[in-house]
Amino acid sequence: MTNQGAVLTALADPTRRAIFERLARSPSAVGELAHELPVSRPAVSQHLKILKSAGLVSDRAAGTRRVYSVDPAGLAAIRDYFEQFWQQSLIRFQAAASQPIQEDT
């Protein structure tokens, strides 16, 4: 279950974004992420917890390790959010209508 607010909050943090982008390249365990990124193991675990509760990543057991990967449903949710046609259109309309009024038409 993805939630719009949780998704946006989760990705607002640059470290979490880096972890998310790294997982999009290849699924990884906590240790690998901590090794490659300038973040401690406990901090990586904490960030993964937030990404997971936002529906952006999922995890599975692989032997003694826990491997994290990007959840396609979460990814689709982000795409859908920014592709909402009328919402996007009204934001453009808002910008145009708020321009100083010119009586040239």
Partner 1 sequence: MTTQTQATSVTTSIEVQAPIEHAFRVFTEGIGSWWNPGHHILQAELAEMVFEPRVGGHIIDRGTDGSECRWSRVLAYEPPQRVCFSWDISLSWELETDPARTSEIEVTFTADGPDRTQVVLTHRHLDRHGDGWQSMRDAVGSGWALTRYAEVAAQRA
Closest distance to partner 1 from the beta carbon of 79 (Å) = 9
Name the residue nearer to partner 1 (CB basis): 12 or 101: 101
Name the residue nearer to partner 1 (CB basis): 2 or 46: 2
Closest distance to partner 1 from the beta carbon of 84 (Å) = 6
26 vs 42: CA distance, rounded Å: 20
Name the residue nearer to partner 1 (CB basis): 64 or 83: 83
Check: CB of residue 10 under 8 Å from CB of residue 54. Answer: yes
Binding residues for partner 1, rule: CB under 8 A, are: 2-4, 76-77, 80-81, 83-98, 101, 105
Between the CA of residue 57 and those of 2, 17, 34, 95, 100, what are the distances in Å?
11, 12, 16, 35, 45
